[in-house]
Amino acid sequence: MSAPTDQDLIGFVVHEARLIDQHRFEEWLDLFAEDGHYWMPLEWGQTDPRLTTSLMYDDKVLLRIRIERLKGNRTFSQKPKSRCHHVLQTPQIETRDEAANQYVTWTPMHYVETRLDEQELYAAWATHTLTMVGGKLKIKLKRVDLVNCDAALRSIQLFM
Amino acid sequence: MGRYKNNAKAVHDLVRETEVHRDVYIDQEVFDLEMDHLFANTWIYVGHDSQIPNVGDYYGTTIGRQPVLMVRHSDGAVHVLYNRCPHKGTRITIDTCGNAGKFFRCPYHAWSFRTDGSLLAIPLRKGYENTGLDQSEAVKGIAHVKHMKNYRGFVFAKMSDSGPGFEDYFGESLSTIDNMVDRSPAGRLEIAGGVLRYMHNCNWKMLVENLTDTCHPMAAHEASAGTAIEVWKKMAPGANTKHPAVEIYAPFMSPYEFFEKMGIRIWRNGHGHTGVHHSIHSDYSAIPGYFDNMVAAYGETRAKAILDENRHNTSYFPNFTVKGPIQSIRLFKPLAPDKTLAESWTFRLVDAPDALLERTLTYNRLVNAPTSILGHDDLEMYERAQEGLHVDANPWVNIQRLYDPAELEQETAVINGTSEWQMRNQFRAWSKFMTLSM
Ligand SMILES: [Fe+2]
């Protein structure tokens, strides 16, 4: 199994954001490893998802629940549906560890979520910890650090 | 000219026995009166003293619209001060928490104050000689909130001289705080995990009423809790254990009979709680080691009695709520008639296993975060109500479920868990404390 190139890693992160923007959530969820997590810390520089609260710390079960809920017939907070939009800087390769099969990228981004007349703009850094599984890149951890992680926030219903 | 200011009768008339006028939710003048009267005449939760463990530590928050500071003075006592320099009005601190050292120093003109608020020094003081400074407001130092009580670490304050004293105001409702503190083998709580801050475009009272609204979960939360159950069924068919999130979400889909039987307890002055006999928190899996810690601290009988309480939401009128079995508290800070900041805090039970704090934080994240699917369900309902109330065809909101005129004579009661008596209880208290000093 050959290691991914830097361009593979960059392409993966860009594609991942596109799947969210296009609401292709089945394909998106498939990008996560079985033990993968999506983590949005609550505190600046947070190191622990367990004994410090987070905005999100979802495993695949929780992500699946969110995705099914978005489609639900009685999901009134999605009538009408939210939309979202990512603007990414070029992802930067933080570390490549072929022996450990672990690749980390760092991506500053702006994210917009809208619903009805309301539009919220968020600035964040996404850190992807990726690994090769069966010849494909998968997400072990997607960490999203909001610049204003500790601010009073409105609902965030989709994914950054 | 307003309709409600200096008009106690008009304010009284907003609350009928089984309905309330929409102006309590949408009218700016009523909101202003709430800030001037209701939030002055009642005891408002300020913070927990574990947020300021060391001398000089302070924590900045608000009581109604008033910025205040909770501070640990050099003798260890907690003071609640208005966050305003007595000189020219500058806020003494802007950050939420920090340590002042031995004294506060106003950043504008360097007047300094001891941590009990008293004036310490004024630079170039001789410029005030023979000006009558000793007669001024400024020389009195940073003003105290008039009444303050630290109850087992929970700091409350009352701004006005009107209204009852602390014990009289809360009475038996303090048993919920007692139970939460007793859940620590050491009898001590520490704020832990960080605070979730969720901005709601609705009136603060909608969040309060929702705490004892047991006829909404199976309807409004079908989207989140119902989906969680379905997903778990598909992903882990026949599983004996539940995913931690499913264990937390699933009970929200309990049938009406469950909520009818769980019961509501009514107390004086607008306080009350759901979950008298059982609650959605009753069937969580045991945390290894915790019960043993409790038995070692209290003996088996007492430990069991403490843990057998499964109170769901205790509503401390007007805007504070405690969830004992989860070790979480929420504060609904009114910002405008249609704007409320919901703060959700959590505690570590001192000497209990970390796994308990972990569940507490999981609950808070899954239920109270701005990213919570359950929170999204609720907020959608509040905000739709905030908009719907502008319909002129019917200005009244109905709170009639299981109403019995005999309840007007009763101060405390244990009742059917789907009753709206607690909402009526809150509005009767609202009416009382709004007009107490008018
Ligand atoms: Fe709810």
Res A23: pLDDT:
98
In 3-state terms chain A splits into helix, strand, coil percentages (rounded to 5) of 20, 45, 35
Question: At which of B151, B186, B209 does a domain end?
Answer: B151
Q: Which of B231, B243, B357 sits opposite A68 (nearest CB)?
A: B231
Residue A73 lies in a domain: yes
Residue identified by tokens 């008033």 is B66
CA B132 / ligand 1 centre spacing (Å):
58
CA B219 / ligand 1 centre spacing (Å):
9
Residue A153 lies in a domain: no
Q: Measured between alpha carbons, how far is A152 from B344 in angstroms, rounded to an integer?
A: 11
CA B265 / ligand 1 centre spacing (Å):
19
Burial of A48 by CB count in 10 Å (0-12 exposed, 13-18 middle, 19+ buried)? exposed
Residue B403 lies in a domain: yes
- Average pLDDT in the B412-435 region? 98
Dihedral sign from CA coordinates of B213, B216, B220, B225 = positive
Q: Are residues B137 and B200 in the same domain?
A: no
Residue A160 lies in a domain: no
Question: At which of B105, B120, B151 does a domain end?
Answer: B151
User: Are the beta carbons of A124 and A160 closer than 8 angstroms?
Assistant: yes
Res B241: pLDDT:
87
Q: How many CA atoms lie within 13 Å of B266's alpha carbon, on the beta-carbon side?
A: 23
Nearest-CA distance A98 → chain B (Å)? 32
Q: How many CB atoms lie within 10 A of CB B175?
A: 18
Contact B235 A40 (CB under 8 A): no
Q: What angle do CA A12, A17, A22 make, to 5 degrees?
A: 120
**Total domains, chain A:** 1
Q: Are residues B176 and B146 in the same domain?
A: no
Band of residue B154 on the pLDDT scale cut at 50, 70, 90 = very high
CA B377 / ligand 1 centre spacing (Å):
7
Nearest-CA distance A150 → chain B (Å)? 8
Residue B389 lies in a domain: yes
Res B240: pLDDT:
86
Q: What is the CATH number of the domain that holds A112?
A: 3.10.450.50
Nearest-CA distance A24 → chain B (Å)? 19
Q: Are residues B272 and B370 in the same domain?
A: yes
Tell me the per-residue pLDDT of A38-65, one tens digit each, with 9 for 90 and over: 999 999 999 999 999 999 999 999 999 9
Encode chain B in three state secondary structure: CCCCCCCHHHHHCCECCCEEECHHHHCHHHHHHHHHHHHHHCCEEEEEHHHCCCCCEEEEEEECCEEEEEEECCCCCEEEEECCCCCCCCCCCCCCEEECCCEEECCCCCCEEECCCCEEECCCHHHHCCCCHHHCCHHHCCCECCEEEEECCEEEEECCCCCCCHHHHHHHHHHHHHHHHHCCCCCCEEECCCCEEEEECCCHHHHHHHCCCCCCHHHHCHHHHHHHHHHHHHHCCCCCCCCHHHHHHHHHHCCHHHHHHHCEEECHHHCEEECCCCCCCCCCCCCCCHHHHHHHHHCHHHHHHHHHCCCCCEEECCCEEEEHHHCEEEEEEEEECCEEEEEEEEEEECCCCHHHHHHHHHHHHHHHCCCCHHHHHHHHHHHHHHHHCCCCCCCEEECCCCCCHHHHHCCCEEECCCCCHHHHHHHHHHHHHHHCCC
Burial of B262 by CB count in 10 Å (0-12 exposed, 13-18 middle, 19+ buried)? buried
Contact B245 A62 (CB under 8 A): yes
Q: What is the CATH number of the domain that holds B383?
A: 3.90.380.10
Contact B223 A76 (CB under 8 A): yes
Q: Are residues B298 and B423 in the same domain?
A: yes
Size of interface A-B (CB pairs under 8 A): 105
Residues 246-275 (B) with a CB less than 8 A from some CB of A: 246, 249
pLDDT at A1 over 80: no
Tell me the per-residue pLDDT of B243-286, one tens digit each, with 9 for 90 and over: 999 999 999 999 999 999 999 999 999 999 999 999 999 889 89
Q: Which of A52, A65, A155 sits opposite B370 (nearest CB)?
A: A155
CA B254 / ligand 1 centre spacing (Å):
13
Contact A57 B365 (CB under 8 A): yes
Nearest-CA distance B333 → chain A (Å)? 12
Band of residue A2 on the pLDDT scale cut at 50, 70, 90 = confident
Residue identified by tokens 């469950």 is B258
Q: Are residues B298 and B394 in the same domain?
A: yes
Q: Which residues contact B301 (CB under 8 A, 6 or more apart)?
A: none
Residue identified by tokens 């260890």 is B76
Is some CB atom of chain A closer than 8 A to the CB atom of B335? no
- Average pLDDT in the A58-73 region? 97
Q: What is the CATH number of the domain that holds B134?
A: 2.102.10.10
Q: Which of A43, A57, A157 sits opposite B376 (nearest CB)?
A: A157
pLDDT at B1 over 60: no
User: Using a CB-CB distance cutoff of 8 angstroms, which residues of chain A are in contact with residue B193?
Assistant: 51-53
Res B2: pLDDT:
83
Q: Are residues B289 and B423 in the same domain?
A: yes
Is some CB atom of chain A closer than 8 A to the CB atom of B385? no
Domain that holds residue B104: 45-151
pTM confidence score: 0.97
A134 to A7, A61, A138, B430: CA distances (angstroms): 19, 21, 9, 63
At residue A9, the 3 state secondary structure works out as helix
Band of residue B306 on the pLDDT scale cut at 50, 70, 90 = very high
Q: Which of B377, B438, B379, B370 is nearest to B226 (CA)?
A: B377
Domain that holds residue A44: 6-146
Q: Are residues B131 and B225 in the same domain?
A: no
Contact A51 B371 (CB under 8 A): no
Phi and psi at B319, nearest 5°, equal -135, 30
Residue B66's beta-bridge partner residues? Answer: B63
Q: Measured between alpha carbons, how far is B407 from B413 in angstroms, rounded to an integer?
A: 9
CA B367 / ligand 1 centre spacing (Å):
9
Q: How many CA atoms lie within 13 Å of A15's alpha carbon, on the beta-carbon side?
A: 14
Run of H or E residues at A29: helix A25-29
CA A55 / ligand 1 centre spacing (Å):
19
**Total domains, chain B:** 2
CA B244 / ligand 1 centre spacing (Å):
19
Tell me the per-residue pLDDT of A82-117, one tens digit each, with 9 for 90 and over: 999 999 999 999 999 999 999 999 999 999 999 999
User: Using a CB-CB distance cutoff of 8 angstroms, which residues of chain B are in contact with residue A157?
Assistant: 376
Residue identified by tokens 């979520």 is A113
Tell me the per-residue pLDDT of B24-51, one tens digit each, with 9 for 90 and over: 999 999 999 999 999 999 999 999 999 9
Residue A30 lies in a domain: yes
Return the exposure string of B270-282: e unless at least 16 CB atoms fall within 10 Å of the residue's CB, then b.
Answer: bbbbbbbebbbbe
Q: Are residues B247 and B366 in the same domain?
A: yes
Q: Are residues B364 and B395 in the same domain?
A: yes
Q: Are residues B180 and B81 in the same domain?
A: no
**Percentage of chain B lying above the pLDDT 70 cut:** 100
Residue B115 lies in a domain: yes
Interface of A with B (CB under 8 A): 40, 42-43, 50-57, 61-62, 64-66, 68-69, 72, 74-77, 150-157
- Considering only residues B1 and B424, tell me which one the structure prediction assigns the higher pLDDT: B424
